[in-house]
Structure 1
């Protein structure tokens, strides 16, 4: 699995991407819960996936900059202007001159370690030297698997994206390689570290394996992490109002917007949009009788496949999307070749960044949640509270553990603090200069030295502060608060569950089937046969596995 842009609605994202970094380099998660890790053994059902409230850190929110749009319904706090004064959140230097090794990924150019003024400044603030072992994010999973399997040369601090969790992580690796943070951070213990206590509970839930707290989170935005967007500017020119209330409304709108003679189609590949409209994201749910069923067994899944076929048959899907060219979806949408498309909410501000300079009237907006039927309330499923996490190597050195947590506390300094400003932008006058709006504008040196490194070890709660795009913060926060009314937690929310390895590939046939039925290569009746084959291949046993976990919560 590759990282998907999350709704890290922070202006530092624009700062970092201005340095030429990919979206993956500055945040992932949001809608991604992470791929399931399959192992040769599994934890006992009594602890698999279990997250006891008493093993989570107490949530003690702090606020150093008053938001213009307070967080609500899972939306991030929004700032329509940058703070004019910053607060020092950590009064005493946390480190004692140690050198701490840290293994992290990077989707960009690895910065120099020697003579790096950014590293020097942050390490001075920390009082310790973080010696980064940085690897290419695209191959990071392979290196992680090798290092953790051998248990040799494990760094003091290791960052792991959810999609890179190696096999046997939950059943073997995590408890043998990494430190159990439960006694150090659970409950009131976290209050020794106020910035860590400021991280929402959902983010900490994602860091629990077998009912023990192991990870330090890189929080996701919470609330709605994905949306169906439409080209607001182009629809206004056409005099078309976009306000679908059902799957049929969406199809009708796509027909209205499709004009092949102008190389314009109503929609890109509808599959991901279909997942939102028909609420297909959770792998497991309870039916009306209380029986645990897989999403492929639900009536909504069948209805979604039938609707997908109608979309393709109607000719409203761009031909390149029909051909499966998914990598070009953003380019098709932003160029106006498709008028509606699915994306992570973090892609919203990125689209403005990439298009406003050449097209000042460019505008895209997300639909408010709507369901398959106008009479049914829409349900959007909450994504994981963190898509990446870091771990401290197992040690009995209590002084070192406390020092590392003090460092983590400094790195988790929230928006509006001196520490946040330094960690995310570098040194003023060296790596950035403030413009008239108070926004840090990167210097040429920033592109070489200020890469995402420290933020991957632990990060504060996400805020929305893209003030450089007039009206964006208001639009985003207003939409996110309203859309958040439709968000619900899936059945196994916040649980890290390692599935038995023998079931790792039994769901693959459905990926192909979804494409084949939508494009008319197979009839909808093929779904019934696929479900029976899945059940016989281990689906029913997997149901029993999850039922045992559910029964032990």
Structure 2
């Protein structure tokens, strides 16, 4: 997905654009959201065990690792899920759009597999929030609609109550076992689909780990690698590799502060204090210390001197013009640079101790939202749940291979190592549509060799798995995940935008760092304290 939209908000729910025309939406949901959301019974977790990974996952978030492609695929869906009817889906793609439905043979085969006539409304980034709002405003809600956590969509609770099916009774507790692929999702995944004490959709699992720096080893070779033991060593290494047509770091300052704040021990979005109160991570001494350190990096001239919103940082990193870029998680830190240059095995910076604090790696939410279902009778809702269950087919299943690669010989072939590779037709017809299907829901994340570009795929899995193991040593969770705050959905978008602008102004020298804490003192009265109180109440009710 687009790094600019995703990275800056990678563990948050933004709220910047209103959803319009919510016929029948009342205000009653706002009074009950945080209280009710703490009491719902989440679906029972039943892991998929028919395919055993080479590298074992664990309950802390370590990803399963698959070093080879299974020779014998298994079935994860007993029968065709659909009933022959037409369904519509609003989702988002993160690659080139597929060949249109009417001339896309894979799309036709997909409809046959699903047992439906699928019409997909494919949004893009940027632009999904506008596509979402326009679709809702049109009055004809799609059967399935992806609700992201980070693209500026407000009034979600009202939309759900007015237009969408409450699926709690269909998936809560053991009821989810009717949909085994959905049952393979963990309680942490399902928490992100809970609003007003009800479960509203199928989660979209994502890696458990959060933002990291990835370095081009060719650039950092002269400094003995990007790994550092403290801020002074990191600054010295950045200076050492900067020179000529090379700069150590990309100029997305808010991401730099976010990643480096982990080194200074900043909390993961919220700090839960001893008395139960909550403190926003940017309103802490640790975050301010990281901001001051990034200001030192800027004064040292180690940031690429381009526009902070430049869109080609990964290309420049692969070319050696930029030494390190920020990525949403360790997996992307390796994969996204392999896409630009299959020969580059990027290094992942493990947070070092800074400012007298032990580092805190920040877990991600664990999902990128969920897909809600349009209101309908029970038969219709259950059919759509079966379709989502098919889309959540795990690695090693025949359904997952078909979803991701299509039909052998037409859409993909197996390479000499047994990994599937898309043909030209597969790239045109399958890749873009699978991107949208995967955004609607997918199986729990795993490190799979076949998903890495290039020829050194086994090494990629092992390296990222090893990085995850190191990050686990200091990883901390956001204590508000699975809890609800009306004030957060109301105020967060503007607050985040203003905070990002101020970070850019301070690092660029247009404003002084002394303006940082007064900014947060003002925001306490503009919604921040209200967010903290609502989250605190929700946490207390669930304990």
Into which bin does the TM-score normalised by the smaller protein fall?
0.7 to 0.9
1:119 aligns with 2:107: yes
Q: Which residue of 1 aligns with 2:299?
A: 313
Cα distance between partner residues in 2 of 1:378 and 1:328? 30
Answer yes or no: is 1:380 the counterpart of 2:366: no
Matches within 5 A, 1:25-44: 31-36=10-15, 43-44=29-30
CA contact (8 A) 2:17 2:129 kept: no
Deviation of 1:417 after TM superposition, in Å, equals 0.7
2:322 pairs with 335, 338, 363, which one?
338
Corresponding residue to 2:207 among 204, 208, 221 = 221
Shift of 1:51: 4.1
CA apart distance, 1:180: 0.6
Contact 1:208 1:214 in 2 (8 A): yes
Aligned 8 A contact 2:3 2:327 in 1: no
Cα distance in 2, alignment partners of residues 347 and 197 from structure 1: 29
Q: Distance in 1 between matches of 2:232 and 2:439?
A: 42
State the alpha-carbon separation in 1 of the partners of residues 116 and 495 from structure 2. Answer: 48
Give me the whole-angstrom Cα distance separating, in 1, the residues matched to 2:56 and 2:493.
42
Match of 1:456 among 439, 442, 453: 439
1:57 aligns with 2:43: yes
Residue 526 (str. 1) matches residue 520 (str. 2): no
The counterpart of 2:395, out of the listed 412, 415, 437, is: 415
Paired residue secondary structure (2:118): strand
C-alpha change, 1:185 and 1:29, in structure 2 (3 Å) is farther
2:374 counterpart (377, 390, 393) = 393
Q: Is the 8 A contact 1:385 1:494 kept in 2?
A: no
Q: What is the DSSP-based 3-state SS (H/G/I as helix, E as strand, rest coil) of the residue aligned with 2:34?
A: coil
Offset from partner CA, 1:475-518 (integer Å, 9 cap, x none): 11111122122211112023353326467534544323212222
In the TM superposition, residue 400 of structure 1 has moved relative to its aligned partner by 1.9
Structure 2 residue 155 is matched with structure 1 residue 188 = no
1:349-498 superposed matches below 5 A: 349-356=335-342, 360=343, 362-373=344-355, 376-395=357-376, 397-450=377-430, 451-452=433-434, 453-467=436-450, 468-470=455-457, 471-498=459-486
Deviation, 1:37, is 6.0
Shift of residue 82, structure 1, vs aligned partner: 0.9
**Alpha carbons of 1:156 and 1:28: their partners in 2 closer, same or farther (altered >3 Å)?**
farther
Give RMSD over aligned pairs: 2.9
Cα distance in 1 for partners of 2:31, 2:474 equals 31
1:108-187 aligned at under 5 Å gives the runs 108-149=96-137, 152-164=139-151, 166-170=153-157, 172-187=158-173
Count of paired positions: 518
Match of 1:231 among 200, 216, 228: 216
Question: Residues 10 and 150 of structure 2 are in contact (CA less than 8 Å); yes or no, is this contact kept in structure 1?
Answer: no
Aligned to 2:80: 93
Q: 1:136 to 1:489 in 2, by over 3 A?
A: closer
Using the alignment, how far apart are the partners of 1:430 and 1:290 within structure 2? 58
**Is this contact kept in 1: 2:91–2:146, CA < 8 A?**
yes
Could you give the per-residue CA deviations for residues 305-344 of structure 1, whole angstroms, max 9, x where no partner exists?
A: 2112211112222222xx5353232233222223233222
Alpha-carbon distance in 2 for matches of 1:463, 1:355: 23
**Mapped contact 1:233–1:364 kept (Cα < 8 A):** no
CA shift, 1:426, in A, is: 0.7
| Structure 1 unmatched runs, 5+ | 6-23
2:256, 2:333 → 1: CA distance?
A: 15
Higher deviation after alignment, 118-127 or 80-89: 118-127
Deviations 1:402-445 (A, max 9, x none): 22222222221100011011111111111111111112222222
TM-score (norm 1): 0.85
Correspondent of 2:70 among 80, 83, 90: 83
Alignment partner of 1:205 is 2:191: yes
Q: Which runs of 5+ in 2 are unaligned?
A: 19-25
- Secondary structure (helix, strand or coil) at the match of 2:426 reads helix
CA distance 1:552–1:306, change in 2 (3 Å):
same
Deviation at 1:30, TM superposition (A): 10
Match among 495, 500, 515 for residue 504 of structure 2 = 515
Does the CA contact (< 8 Å) of 2:15 and 2:151 recur in 1? no
Mapped partners of 1:538, 1:191: distance in 2: 41
Find the counterpart in structure 1 of residue 247 from structure 2: 265
Decide whether aligned partners of structure 1 residues 33 and 84 sit closer, same or farther in structure 2, where only a CA change above 3 A counts. farther
The alpha-carbon distance between structure 1 residues 164 and 111, as it changes in their structure 2 partners (threshold 3 A), is farther
